[in-house]
Copies of this chain bind each other. A is one copy, B any other.
Amino acid sequence: MDKRLAELSWDAPLNFLGLPEGDAPSLEHAGVVMLPVPYEATVSYMGGTRFGPRRILEASRAIELYDHELDTEPYRVGVHTLPELLLTGAGPEAALAELRTAFDALLADGRFIIMLGGEHSISAPPIEAHAARLGNRRLSVLQLDAHGDLRAEYEGTPFSHACVMYRVHEAVTLVPVGIRAITAEERRLIREKEIPTIFAHELDPEEHWIERALEALGPDVYVTIDIDYFDPGLVPATGTPEPGGGTWYPTLRLLERVFAERNVVGADLVELAPLPGIVAPDFLAAKLAYKLVAYHQRARDAARRR
């Protein structure tokens, strides 16, 4: 590029954090990979989750690279943002199979993938892929969510967002947190299978629930965050907002400890359904995703020092 042009100020690319070329490694050299999956097919009350990944990336470009709570610059772990993965429109089963293919190809030792959704049904393939990689070790799944998502079938398909945790609940140790909307059938399943559920009204200010969650989790953990876990006062931008949800700092404290005290193998953040002209929920989601990067970085560094 012409030197005169190079001296001007050009906007950063639309990747996570808006990293200029020098700061964003290639996929091969990345420590963290952001995988946007704007998949929206099965129906909830309000739509729009397909716009979630885009809006998270846009907001991420305005958040500070420095994390003053941890006194680190987490992006230095090396963050690569993939293009949006467009799953087939041929139906949820085929779409999720494609996503499984993607994860099988992307997962590699030391590479940490954060998937940005899209609707919650897309969490099953990465969970299954991680569980498969662990072999005999049983994966735990920390599910931050307002809904149980434990239905066997919904709207004619077992691949609905309302079924995603049912699909994996036998194969993994499921730890739902923040739940405040379930069916009687889901309640029965929770009791029968003794799924260690922390309901939203149990999120006590003394934070005993954080201990409970940690105790329920095994050594290897996948974190799936349905953004509707948060109180709709903080995140109204979701399909079926349920009052009485999680808040910012306690949730960070939970996540910080899970990353510090467990081996977190992967994570996703789904169900943001952006509202036109209202960016606060986008910022919360973007900052939360960056916190996942930060906690992962610190855990990796701690592991290396051991």
The residues of A with any CB-CB pair to B shorter than 8 Å are 1-2, 4-5, 8-14, 27, 38, 40-48, 50, 59, 62-66, 68-69, 71, 73, 82-94, 98, 101-102, 104-106, 154-157, 159-160, 179-184, 187, 199, 201, 231-234, 236, 240-244, 248-249, 275-280, 283-284, 287-288
Contact = CB atoms under 8 A, between A and B. Distances in A.
A50 B50 contact: no
Contacts of A64: 181-183
Contact of A283 (B41, B85, B241, B276): B241
A266 B54 CA distance: 32
Given A232-B234, A244-B249, A278-B278, 5 more contacts: A45-B62, A47-B50, A66-B184, A234-B243, A241-B279
Contacts of A1: 27
Chain A at the B interface: SS class: loop
Contacts of A248: 231, 243-244
A71 to B, nearest CB: 7
Contact of A90 (B83, B91, B98): B91
A129 B160 CA distance: 29
Contact of A10 (B10, B84, B88, B244): B84
Copies per assembly: 6
Nearest to A184: B66
B187 A10 contact: no
Contact of A276 (B14, B156, B181, B277): B277
Nearest to A199: B68
A126 B241 CA distance: 31
A280 B236 contact: yes
Contacts of A154: 89
Given A10-B85, A47-B50, A105 B5 contact: yes
Given A2-B105, A5-B106, A105-B4, A283 B232 contact: yes
Contact of A41 (B4, B5, B89, B236): B89
Contacts of A90: 91-93, 156-157, 159
Contacts of A233: 231, 233-234, 280
A1 B42 CA distance: 28
A181 B63 contact: yes
Contacts of A181: 63-64
